[in-house]
């Protein structure tokens, strides 16, 4: 069996694979309209959970057996270990290559790989050049200095927020501690000037962290690096500025009056590791809250928080199996997004009129990054069906990190009424809930939206071409797992007869999640 591996299967790669007599192509994405080729196509994304651990373990072994031996001083600063922070950062560079490797491994011993993407591939020359640039920046940056952060002495609780979405998530917890809280904006925040001005006008105390100009890496140039080690160092240096900066503003926060720092989804960043280690050393607490679904990937290993707030017991058990954290550090606080759902009133933040909401069938597409086989198959099926349905409106909502060259839209002359929903971050949550309330059916690809649809009783499909969904909450009624064109067509034919959510679900007498979070944090501040 001849196997050809590539990230994106386009016409050029398909021609190469065909010319080589390939039996199976393993890829992370497929260009729409590729046509028929004389080989089987396997979507490597279906192996992403196992593959993430393959990449993490391979990267860790490379660090421990080669990089750390040659350059140990680069992975610690003033007693703060940095090796795991860099492992977190490096993982994002080759996890998709590991998808390919895991898919190849599943084919068994008869697989003969005629083309593959190396898991670790670096250039000695590029590595030396990157190191030289870093050392030049170190000369210019000067010595280590803590920035001056204007944290009032009476403020004991900080909320690290990167963007307006994060602010909306923790806003109510902030308000539960009047006079005690500050919003901390890291150097890489994406708040707009008008958003910052509005927050200040509303009385929020903001602490904006300046970036550091210094470099934590010592004055050594280990030119012996080559091959895989060169790759590791190159990826490491791409993240050095963020790590160096966090060592400065993070330490300044820990030396301030703050006793507790609440972070949002920092389990997948090097900053999350650094802040957790600093808090442990200073006798303070970092409480991390979730904003997205988890599947058990290696991204969530080695986290250093004193507490990680999770949504529910099934998710807690999933994380326990994969993170190695003590159970007491995973606290069930509920989902802060659900608080927003319980109080949501239709806001008109989607491109559909009131008359159309009442008379048209509306199908929402919650897109995902890249041209994964699931996405291409589902949307090709949907567009073929929708071209014959004059009363259907499709609402295409790109993933926040989806690039335009990964959008999969119908041809302009298809006659399909498809409209883009690309809201400003300040109304992103409102527009999503508007979509769920207004849609006869929502199609997504294993995203957090599935859970929000369940809460709102808004009929939703997670299209994943595998026997079982990665989501732990599929109920077969409101949230359906569909894995074939035929199954999707059946659901589309039926969507006329499914009532729209129309409104949000109250949540009965359940306590708000922000209250659970606040009740956990309050004694930590008073300690």
Cβ contacts of residue 364 below 8 Å, gap of 6+? 394, 395, 397, 421, 435, 436, 439, 441, 442, 443
| CA pair distance 106, 44, nearest whole angstrom | 10
**DSSP-based three-state secondary structure for 167:** helix
| Burial profile 414-440: b = 16 or more Cβ within 10 angstroms, e = fewer | eebbbeebebebbebbbbbbbbbbbbb
DSSP assignment letter at 444? E
Domain 157-206+257-342+511-526, classified CATH 3.40.50.11820, yes or no:
yes
Q: If you count them, how many residues does the chain have?
A: 527
Q: Do domains 157-206+257-342+511-526 and 354-497 have the same CATH topology?
A: yes
Locate tokens 């031996």: which residue? 69
pLDDT value of residue 221: 66
Prediction pTM value: 0.90
Closest CA to 340 of 115, 498, 171: 171
Cα separation, 117 vs 310, in Å, equals 36
Q: Which helix (H) or strand (E) holds 262?
A: strand 260-264
Instruction: Give the CB-side neighbour count of residue 190, counting CA atoms within 13 A.
Output: 8
For 512, residues 6+ apart whose C-beta sits below 8 A from its C-beta are 172, 334, 339, 342
Q: What is the predicted pLDDT for the residue at 503?
A: 67
CA dist., res. 139 & res. 135, Å (int)? 6
Instruction: Note whether 203 and 232 are within 8 A (CB).
Output: no
Query: Other C-beta atoms within 10 Å of 347: how many?
Result: 13
C-alpha to C-alpha distance for 522 and 520, rounded to whole angstroms: 6
Give the per-residue pLDDT at 473: 87
For the chain, the domains span 2-141, 157-206+257-342+511-526, 354-497
Residue 113, helix vs strand vs coil:
strand
With contact defined as beta carbons under 8 Å apart, do 377 and 465 qualify?
yes
> How far is residue 445's CA from residue 462's CA, in Å, rounded to a whole number?
5
Phi, psi at 406, each rounded to 5°:
-105, -5
Task: Specify the residue for token string 């300690």.
Answer: 527
| Sheet strands side by side (includes 40-43) | 40-43, 24-30, 2-9, 112-115
| CB contact set of 251 (below 8 Å; sequence gap of 6+) | 146, 278
Per-residue pLDDT tens over the stretch 380-435: 999 999 999 999 999 999 998 888 989 999 998 999 999 999 877 778 888 999 99
Residue 159, helix vs strand vs coil? strand
- Give the CATH fold of the 354-497 domain: Rossmann fold (3.40.50)
The alpha carbon dihedral of 419, 423, 428, 434 has a sign of negative
Distance CA 143, CA 149 (A): 18
What's the CA gap between 416 and 394, in Å, rounded? 8
Q: What is the pLDDT of residue 496?
A: 64
Identify the CA nearest to 67 among candidates 48, 44, 90: 90
Contact 159, 176 (CB under 8 A): no
Q: What are the residue ranges in the chain where pLDDT is below 70? A: 221-224, 495-499, 502-509
Distance CA 115, CA 196 (A): 50
Please tell me the distance from the alpha carbon of residue 392 to that of residue 356, in angstroms, as a whole number: 10
CB 185 within 8 A of CB 191: yes
């Amino acid at each position: 069996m001849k196997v050809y591996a590539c990230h994106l299967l386009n016409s050029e790669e398909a021609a190469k694979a065909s010319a080589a007599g390939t039996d199976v192509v393993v890829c992370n994405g497929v260009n729409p309209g590729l046509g028929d080729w004389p080989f089987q196509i396997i979507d490597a994304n279906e192996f992403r959970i196992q593959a993430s651990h393959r990449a993490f373990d391979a990267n860790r072994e490379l660090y421990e057996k080669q990089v750390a031996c040659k350059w140990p001083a680069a992975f610690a600063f003033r007693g703060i270990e940095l090796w795991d922070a860099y492992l977190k950062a490096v993982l994002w560079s080759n996890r998709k290559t590991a998808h390919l490797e895991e898919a190849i491994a599943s084919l068994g011993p008869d697989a003969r790989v005629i083309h593959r993407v190396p898991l670790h591939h670096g250039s000695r020359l590029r590595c030396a050049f990157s190191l030289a640039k870093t050392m030049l920046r170190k000369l210019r940056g000067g010595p280590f200095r803590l920035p001056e952060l204007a944290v009032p002495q009476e403020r004991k609780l900080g909320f690290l927020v990167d963007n307006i979405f994060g602010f909306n998530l923790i806003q109510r917890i902030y308000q539960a501690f009047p006079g005690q809280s500050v919003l901390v904006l890291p150097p890489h925040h994406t708040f707009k000037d008008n958003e910052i001005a509005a927050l200040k006008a509303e009385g929020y105390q903001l602490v904006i962290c300046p970036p550091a100009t210094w470099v934590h890496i010592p004055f050594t140039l280990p030119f012996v690096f080559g091959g895989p080690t060169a790759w590791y160092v190159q990826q490491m240096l791409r993240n050095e500025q963020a790590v160096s900066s966090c060592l400065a503003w993070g330490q300044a926060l820990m030396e301030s009056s703050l006793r507790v720092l609440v972070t949002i989804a920092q389990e997948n960043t090097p900053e999350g590791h650094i802040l957790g280690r600093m808090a442990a050393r200073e006798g303070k607490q970092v409480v991390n809250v979730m904003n997205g679904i988890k599947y058990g990937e290696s991204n969530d290993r080695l986290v250093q928080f004193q507490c990680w707030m999770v949504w529910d017991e099934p998710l807690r058990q999933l994380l326990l199996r994969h993170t190695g954290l003590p159970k007491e550090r995973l606290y069930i606080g509920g989902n802060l997004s659900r608080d927003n759902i319980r109080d949501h009133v239709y806001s008109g933040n989607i491109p559909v009129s009131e008359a159309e909401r009442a008379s048209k069938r509306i199908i929402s597409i919650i897109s995902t990054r890249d041209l994964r086989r699931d996405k291409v198959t589902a949307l090709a099926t949907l567009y073929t069906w929708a071209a014959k349905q004059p009363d259907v409106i499709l609402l295409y909502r790109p993933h926040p990190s989806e690039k335009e060259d990964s959008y999969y839209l119908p041809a302009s002359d298809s006659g399909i009424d498809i409209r883009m929903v690309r809201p400003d971050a300040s109304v992103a949550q409102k527009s999503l809930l508007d979509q769920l309330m207004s849609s006869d059916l929502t199609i997504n690809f294993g995203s957090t939206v599935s859970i929000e649809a369940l809460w709102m009783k808004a009929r939703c499909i997670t299209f994943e071409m595998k026997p079982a969904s990665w989501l732990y909450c599929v109920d077969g009624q409101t949230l359906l797992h569909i894995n074939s064109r035929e199954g999707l067509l059946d659901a589309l034919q039926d969507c006329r007869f499914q009532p729209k959510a129309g409104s949000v679900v109250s949540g009965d007498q359940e306590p708000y999640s922000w209250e659970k979070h606040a009740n956990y944090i309050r004694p930590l501040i008073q300690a």
